[in-house]
Amino acid sequence: MNEDFMSEETMGGAAADEPKIVDFDAGETFDGETVALKRPFKLKGVTYKQVALRIPTGADYERSTRKDAKLDTFGLLTAFTGLPIEALQKMASVDAKALDVALGKLLWG
């Protein structure tokens, strides 16, 4: 169990540890979410078995909620996964949907 996220109950009544401070100055980023692909595939010598989504920043959230935001699923997924658009276009729809759902949860809770 990750001790950074233990509740007082799981720690036997002790105060929970402080969350990890992300040091942007040192090049750190927030932890993201990894989605295991139900239909892994190989494209241009790269085997895709799972995809990591980065945690959106406040700027990402603002851009995605503006009235004039042009939300394109492949564009968003490329930005948050680092995958080439071709890999997203060729992956099984069940996996593309799982990535889209995971990103939606990260952006909007």
Domain extent listing, the chain: 29-108
Residue 73 CA to residue 100 CA, distance in Å, equals: 7
Question: For 42-99, how does the pLDDT look when each residue is reduced to its tens digit (9 = 90+)?
Answer: 999 999 999 999 888 888 778 777 776 666 788 888 888 989 999 999 999 999 999 9
Q: How does residue 105 score in pLDDT terms, banded at 50, 70 and 90?
A: confident
Residue that is written with structure tokens 């930005």 in the block? 79
The larger pLDDT score, comparing residue 85 to residue 7, is at 85
pLDDT confidence of residue 16: 65
pLDDT confidence of residue 13: 47
